[in-house]
Protein backbone atom coordinates (compact mmCIF):
# COMPACT_ATOMS: atom_id res chain seq x y z
CA UNK A 1 0.00 0.00 0.00
CA UNK A 2 2.82 2.41 0.81
CA UNK A 3 3.99 2.02 -2.79
CA UNK A 4 0.51 2.85 -3.96
CA UNK A 5 0.48 6.12 -2.01
CA UNK A 6 4.02 7.36 -1.49
CA UNK A 7 3.28 10.38 0.72
CA UNK A 8 3.51 11.07 4.45
CA UNK A 9 1.39 14.22 4.31
CA UNK A 10 -1.29 15.71 2.08
CA UNK A 11 -0.16 19.29 1.67
CA UNK A 12 -1.42 20.00 -1.82
CA UNK A 13 -2.57 18.41 -5.06
CA UNK A 14 0.58 19.63 -6.75
CA UNK A 15 2.49 16.71 -5.22
CA UNK A 16 -0.05 14.10 -6.43
CA UNK A 17 0.39 12.10 -9.64
CA UNK A 18 -2.60 10.92 -11.67
CA UNK A 19 -1.89 7.45 -10.22
CA UNK A 20 -2.12 8.82 -6.65
CA UNK A 21 -5.34 10.66 -7.47
CA UNK A 22 -6.90 7.58 -9.07
CA UNK A 23 -5.94 5.48 -6.02
CA UNK A 24 -7.63 8.00 -3.69
CA UNK A 25 -10.78 8.24 -5.83
CA UNK A 26 -11.05 4.45 -6.21
CA UNK A 27 -10.73 3.90 -2.48
CA UNK A 28 -13.26 6.70 -1.81
CA UNK A 29 -15.87 4.79 -3.83
CA UNK A 30 -15.90 2.01 -1.24
CA UNK A 31 -16.43 4.57 1.52
CA UNK A 32 -19.42 6.09 -0.29
CA UNK A 33 -21.09 2.66 -0.07
CA UNK A 34 -20.06 2.19 3.57
CA UNK A 35 -21.38 5.63 4.56
CA UNK A 36 -24.80 4.77 3.12
CA UNK A 37 -25.07 1.70 5.38
CA UNK A 38 -26.55 1.69 8.88
CA UNK A 39 -23.32 0.45 10.42
CA UNK A 40 -20.66 2.88 9.19
CA UNK A 41 -17.89 1.85 11.56
CA UNK A 42 -14.46 0.43 10.75
CA UNK A 43 -11.52 0.04 13.08
CA UNK A 44 -8.56 0.66 10.80
CA UNK A 45 -7.57 3.81 12.72
CA UNK A 46 -8.07 2.25 16.15
CA UNK A 47 -5.46 3.59 18.56
CA UNK A 48 -4.60 6.56 16.31
CA UNK A 49 -5.33 10.20 17.16
CA UNK A 50 -6.53 12.87 14.75
CA UNK A 51 -6.46 16.55 15.71
CA UNK A 52 -8.47 19.04 13.66
CA UNK A 53 -6.67 22.36 14.07
CA UNK A 54 -8.75 25.11 12.50
CA UNK A 55 -7.61 28.73 12.52
CA UNK A 56 -10.49 29.68 10.16
CA UNK A 57 -14.20 28.95 10.24
CA UNK A 58 -15.47 25.79 8.65
CA UNK A 59 -18.65 23.74 8.60
CA UNK A 60 -18.26 21.09 5.90
CA UNK A 61 -14.53 20.43 6.03
CA UNK A 62 -14.17 20.16 9.79
CA UNK A 63 -17.29 18.10 10.27
CA UNK A 64 -16.35 15.71 7.51
CA UNK A 65 -12.82 15.19 8.84
CA UNK A 66 -14.35 14.53 12.25
CA UNK A 67 -16.83 12.03 10.85
CA UNK A 68 -14.18 10.40 8.67
CA UNK A 69 -11.84 9.90 11.63
CA UNK A 70 -14.58 8.65 13.97
CA UNK A 71 -16.06 6.24 11.44
CA UNK A 72 -12.61 4.69 11.03
CA UNK A 73 -12.13 4.31 14.78
CA UNK A 74 -9.66 7.11 15.53
CA UNK A 75 -9.78 9.37 18.58
CA UNK A 76 -10.67 12.81 17.20
CA UNK A 77 -10.09 16.18 18.86
CA UNK A 78 -11.29 19.48 17.43
CA UNK A 79 -9.38 22.68 18.10
CA UNK A 80 -10.98 25.86 16.80
CA UNK A 81 -8.49 28.69 17.17
CA UNK A 82 -9.78 32.20 16.69
CA UNK A 83 -7.64 33.79 14.00
CA UNK A 84 -7.71 37.18 15.72
CA UNK A 85 -5.90 35.74 18.73
CA UNK A 86 -3.17 34.20 16.63
CA UNK A 87 0.16 35.95 16.53
CA UNK A 88 1.28 34.76 13.12
CA UNK A 89 4.46 32.72 12.75
CA UNK A 90 5.69 32.10 16.25
CA UNK A 91 2.32 31.16 17.68
CA UNK A 92 1.63 28.70 14.88
CA UNK A 93 4.94 26.97 15.51
CA UNK A 94 4.40 27.00 19.26
CA UNK A 95 0.98 25.45 18.76
CA UNK A 96 2.52 22.84 16.49
CA UNK A 97 5.20 21.96 19.02
CA UNK A 98 2.62 21.74 21.81
CA UNK A 99 0.33 19.44 19.86
CA UNK A 100 3.25 17.37 18.62
CA UNK A 101 4.27 16.67 22.21
CA UNK A 102 0.93 14.90 22.69
CA UNK A 103 1.79 12.34 19.97
CA UNK A 104 -1.06 12.76 17.51
CA UNK A 105 -0.89 10.66 14.34
CA UNK A 106 -2.65 13.15 12.05
CA UNK A 107 -3.25 16.88 12.26
CA UNK A 108 -5.60 18.48 9.75
CA UNK A 109 -4.89 22.18 9.50
CA UNK A 110 -6.84 25.11 8.13
CA UNK A 111 -5.02 28.44 8.28
CA UNK A 112 -5.56 31.88 6.69
CA UNK A 113 -1.92 32.15 5.53
CA UNK A 114 -0.82 30.50 2.29
CA UNK A 115 2.10 28.19 3.05
CA UNK A 116 1.40 27.92 6.82
CA UNK A 117 0.50 24.24 6.52
CA UNK A 118 3.74 23.37 4.69
CA UNK A 119 5.71 25.17 7.40
CA UNK A 120 3.88 23.26 10.12
CA UNK A 121 4.60 19.94 8.41
CA UNK A 122 8.33 20.60 8.85
CA UNK A 123 7.94 21.00 12.61
CA UNK A 124 6.00 17.90 13.59
CA UNK A 125 6.47 14.18 13.23
CA UNK A 126 2.92 13.19 12.36
CA UNK A 127 0.96 13.31 9.11
CA UNK A 128 -0.32 16.77 8.20
CA UNK A 129 -3.38 17.18 6.01
CA UNK A 130 -4.05 20.56 4.47
CA UNK A 131 -7.68 21.55 5.08
CA UNK A 132 -7.16 24.88 3.29
CA UNK A 133 -4.31 27.40 3.57
CA UNK A 134 -5.09 30.99 2.57
CA UNK A 135 -5.51 31.31 -1.19
CA UNK A 136 -3.06 28.48 -1.81
CA UNK A 137 -4.44 24.92 -1.69
CA UNK A 138 -7.45 22.91 -0.56
CA UNK A 139 -6.51 19.41 -1.72
CA UNK A 140 -9.39 17.42 -0.20
CA UNK A 141 -11.91 19.80 -1.80
CA UNK A 142 -10.38 19.25 -5.25
CA UNK A 143 -10.38 15.48 -4.67
CA UNK A 144 -14.05 15.41 -3.66
CA UNK A 145 -14.90 17.61 -6.64
CA UNK A 146 -13.06 15.22 -8.97
CA UNK A 147 -14.88 12.26 -7.42
CA UNK A 148 -18.24 14.00 -7.92
CA UNK A 149 -17.46 14.71 -11.57
CA UNK A 150 -16.14 11.20 -12.22
CA UNK A 151 -19.20 9.55 -10.67
CA UNK A 152 -21.68 11.75 -12.54
CA UNK A 153 -20.00 11.92 -15.94
CA UNK A 154 -18.04 8.67 -15.85
CA UNK A 155 -14.66 10.30 -16.55
CA UNK A 156 -12.59 13.45 -16.14
CA UNK A 157 -10.25 13.19 -19.15
CA UNK A 158 -11.47 15.24 -22.09
CA UNK A 159 -14.14 17.22 -20.20
CA UNK A 160 -14.28 21.01 -20.39
CA UNK A 161 -14.71 22.50 -16.93
CA UNK A 162 -15.37 26.17 -16.19
CA UNK A 163 -14.33 27.57 -12.80
CA UNK A 164 -16.11 30.88 -12.22
CA UNK A 165 -15.96 33.74 -9.75
CA UNK A 166 -13.31 34.88 -7.31
CA UNK A 167 -10.37 33.13 -8.96
CA UNK A 168 -7.90 35.54 -7.42
CA UNK A 169 -8.48 34.57 -3.78
CA UNK A 170 -9.66 30.98 -4.18
CA UNK A 171 -7.68 27.98 -2.96
CA UNK A 172 -10.49 25.80 -4.34
CA UNK A 173 -9.76 27.17 -7.82
CA UNK A 174 -6.00 26.62 -7.53
CA UNK A 175 -6.28 23.04 -6.30
CA UNK A 176 -8.98 22.18 -8.82
CA UNK A 177 -7.10 23.61 -11.80
CA UNK A 178 -4.01 21.57 -10.93
CA UNK A 179 -5.84 18.34 -10.12
CA UNK A 180 -8.29 18.41 -13.02
CA UNK A 181 -5.47 19.25 -15.47
CA UNK A 182 -3.44 16.33 -14.10
CA UNK A 183 -6.47 14.11 -14.79
CA UNK A 184 -6.75 15.34 -18.40
CA UNK A 185 -9.57 17.93 -18.28
CA UNK A 186 -9.57 21.23 -20.13
CA UNK A 187 -9.98 24.15 -17.73
CA UNK A 188 -11.49 27.56 -18.35
CA UNK A 189 -11.40 30.26 -15.69
CA UNK A 190 -14.00 33.03 -15.68
CA UNK A 191 -13.84 36.13 -13.47
CA UNK A 192 -14.24 39.90 -13.51
CA UNK A 193 -10.89 41.61 -14.22
CA UNK A 194 -10.62 42.66 -10.55
CA UNK A 195 -10.86 39.04 -9.38
CA UNK A 196 -8.59 37.51 -12.02
CA UNK A 197 -4.89 37.21 -11.09
CA UNK A 198 -2.65 39.57 -13.08
CA UNK A 199 -1.05 36.63 -14.91
CA UNK A 200 -3.84 34.03 -15.11
CA UNK A 201 -1.63 31.73 -17.20
CA UNK A 202 0.51 30.91 -14.16
CA UNK A 203 -2.45 29.09 -12.64
CA UNK A 204 -2.26 26.58 -15.49
CA UNK A 205 -5.79 26.99 -16.93
CA UNK A 206 -6.22 26.51 -20.68
CA UNK A 207 -8.39 29.55 -21.29
CA UNK A 208 -9.37 32.69 -19.43
CA UNK A 209 -12.63 34.64 -19.92
CA UNK A 210 -14.05 37.89 -18.59
CA UNK A 211 -17.44 37.28 -20.21
CA UNK A 212 -19.31 34.48 -18.45
CA UNK A 213 -21.69 33.54 -21.29
CA UNK A 214 -18.74 33.13 -23.65
CA UNK A 215 -16.75 31.18 -21.10
CA UNK A 216 -19.61 28.75 -20.46
CA UNK A 217 -20.10 27.80 -24.14
CA UNK A 218 -20.33 24.00 -24.38
CA UNK A 219 -18.79 23.24 -21.00
CA UNK A 220 -19.51 19.94 -19.23
CA UNK A 221 -19.18 21.32 -15.70
CA UNK A 222 -19.80 24.75 -14.17
CA UNK A 223 -17.93 25.15 -10.90
CA UNK A 224 -18.93 28.30 -9.01
CA UNK A 225 -16.82 29.90 -6.28
CA UNK A 226 -17.66 31.90 -3.19
CA UNK A 227 -16.58 35.55 -3.04
CA UNK A 228 -13.73 35.40 -0.48
CA UNK A 229 -14.62 38.68 1.27
CA UNK A 230 -12.37 37.75 4.21
CA UNK A 231 -9.31 37.78 1.92
CA UNK A 232 -10.15 41.12 0.25
CA UNK A 233 -8.81 44.42 1.44
CA UNK A 234 -10.79 47.12 -0.32
CA UNK A 235 -13.55 46.90 -2.90
CA UNK A 236 -13.28 44.34 -5.68
CA UNK A 237 -16.87 44.43 -6.99
CA UNK A 238 -19.12 47.48 -7.58
CA UNK A 239 -22.08 45.83 -5.80
CA UNK A 240 -23.44 42.34 -5.12
CA UNK A 241 -26.35 43.08 -7.45
CA UNK A 242 -24.04 43.97 -10.31
CA UNK A 243 -21.81 40.97 -9.57
CA UNK A 244 -24.80 38.64 -9.85
CA UNK A 245 -25.87 40.31 -13.09
CA UNK A 246 -22.51 39.69 -14.78
CA UNK A 247 -21.00 36.72 -12.92
CA UNK A 248 -23.76 34.99 -10.96
CA UNK A 249 -24.96 31.69 -12.40
CA UNK A 250 -28.50 32.08 -13.72
CA UNK A 251 -30.58 30.25 -16.32
CA UNK A 252 -29.64 32.56 -19.15
CA UNK A 253 -25.86 32.21 -18.67
CA UNK A 254 -26.18 28.47 -17.99
CA UNK A 255 -28.00 28.00 -21.32
CA UNK A 256 -24.60 28.37 -23.02
CA UNK A 257 -23.25 25.23 -21.32
CA UNK A 258 -23.99 21.67 -22.48
CA UNK A 259 -27.59 20.61 -21.89
CA UNK A 260 -26.76 18.39 -18.93
CA UNK A 261 -23.80 20.33 -17.58
CA UNK A 262 -23.24 19.82 -13.85
CA UNK A 263 -23.54 22.72 -11.42
CA UNK A 264 -21.04 22.70 -8.55
CA UNK A 265 -20.23 24.96 -5.60
CA UNK A 266 -17.87 24.11 -2.69
CA UNK A 267 -20.08 25.96 -0.20
CA UNK A 268 -20.87 27.96 1.72
CA UNK A 269 -22.76 29.63 -1.12
CA UNK A 270 -24.22 33.10 -1.28
CA UNK A 271 -27.55 32.61 -3.00
CA UNK A 272 -28.54 35.42 -5.33
CA UNK A 273 -24.93 36.66 -5.50
CA UNK A 274 -22.89 33.75 -6.86
CA UNK A 275 -25.74 31.48 -7.88
CA UNK A 276 -29.46 31.67 -8.48
CA UNK A 277 -31.29 29.78 -5.75
CA UNK A 278 -33.40 27.78 -8.18
CA UNK A 279 -30.29 26.42 -9.93
CA UNK A 280 -28.54 25.63 -6.64
CA UNK A 281 -31.54 23.48 -5.69
CA UNK A 282 -32.11 21.91 -9.12
CA UNK A 283 -31.92 18.21 -8.29
CA UNK A 284 -31.16 17.26 -11.88
CA UNK A 285 -28.24 19.62 -12.44
CA UNK A 286 -26.86 20.70 -9.08
CA UNK A 287 -24.47 18.25 -7.38
CA UNK A 288 -23.72 20.51 -4.43
CA UNK A 289 -24.95 18.06 -1.79
CA UNK A 290 -23.21 15.14 -3.50
CA UNK A 291 -19.98 17.13 -3.11
CA UNK A 292 -20.66 17.29 0.63
CA UNK A 293 -21.48 13.58 0.83
CA UNK A 294 -18.36 12.51 -1.08
CA UNK A 295 -16.22 14.83 1.04
CA UNK A 296 -16.50 12.40 3.95
CA UNK A 297 -15.53 9.43 1.74
CA UNK A 298 -12.50 11.22 0.27
CA UNK A 299 -11.26 12.12 3.74
CA UNK A 300 -11.68 8.53 4.91
CA UNK A 301 -9.63 7.36 1.91
CA UNK A 302 -6.86 9.88 2.65
CA UNK A 303 -6.72 8.86 6.30
CA UNK A 304 -6.56 5.18 5.36
CA UNK A 305 -3.74 5.72 2.84
CA UNK A 306 -1.70 7.87 5.22
CA UNK A 307 -2.31 5.40 8.07
CA UNK A 308 -0.74 2.60 6.01
CA UNK A 309 2.50 4.56 6.07
CA UNK A 310 2.24 5.28 9.79
CA UNK A 311 1.78 1.56 10.48
CA UNK A 312 4.72 0.63 8.23
CA UNK A 313 7.12 3.17 9.79
The residue ranges that bind ligand NCD (CB under 6 A) are 60-61, 132, 138, 141, 171-172, 226, 266-267
Q: Which of residues 48 and 279 has its CB atom nearest to ligand NCD in the complex?
A: 279
- To ligand NCD, the closest distance from the beta carbon of 117 in angstroms equals 13
- To ligand NCD, the closest distance from the beta carbon of 138 in angstroms equals 5
Question: How far is Cα 92 from Cα 234, in angstroms, rounded to an integer?
Answer: 27
Question: How far is Cα 54 from Cα 108, in angstroms, rounded to an integer?
Answer: 8
Q: Which of residues 17 and 277 has its CB atom nearest to ligand NCD in the complex?
A: 277
- C-alpha pair distances (Å), 62 with each of 130, 134, 141, 228, 242: 11, 16, 12, 18, 33
Q: Which of residues 48 and 58 has its CB atom nearest to ligand NCD in the complex?
A: 58
Q: Which of residues 104 and 132 has its CB atom nearest to ligand NCD in the complex?
A: 132
What are the residues facing 78 on neighbouring strands? 52
Q: Which residues of 295-313 are buried (b: 16+ CB within 10 A; e: fewer)?
A: bbbbbbbbbbbbbbbbeee
Q: Which of residues 48 and 120 has its CB atom nearest to ligand NCD in the complex?
A: 120
Q: Which of residues 48 and 108 has its CB atom nearest to ligand NCD in the complex?
A: 108
- To ligand NCD, the closest distance from the beta carbon of 259 in angstroms equals 28
144: Cβ contacts below 8 Å, ≥ 6 apart: 28, 291, 294, 295, 297, 298
Residue nearest to ligand NCD (CB): 226
- To ligand NCD, the closest distance from the beta carbon of 311 in angstroms equals 29
- Report the DSSP pairing between strands 186-190 and 207-209: parallel
- To ligand NCD, the closest distance from the beta carbon of 38 in angstroms equals 27
- To ligand NCD, the closest distance from the beta carbon of 166 in angstroms equals 8
Q: Sign of the C-alpha dihedral, residues 284, 289, 293, 294?
A: positive
Under 8 Å between Cβ of 152 and 25:
no
Amino acid sequence: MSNEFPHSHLLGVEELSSKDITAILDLSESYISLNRKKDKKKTILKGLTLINLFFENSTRTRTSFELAGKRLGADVINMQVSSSSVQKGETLLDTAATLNAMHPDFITVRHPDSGAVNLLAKKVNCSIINAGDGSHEHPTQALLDALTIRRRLGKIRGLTIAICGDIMHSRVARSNITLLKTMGAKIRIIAPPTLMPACPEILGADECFYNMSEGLKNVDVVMMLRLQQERMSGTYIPSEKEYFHFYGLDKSKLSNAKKNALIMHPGPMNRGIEIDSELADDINRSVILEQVEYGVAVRQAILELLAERIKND
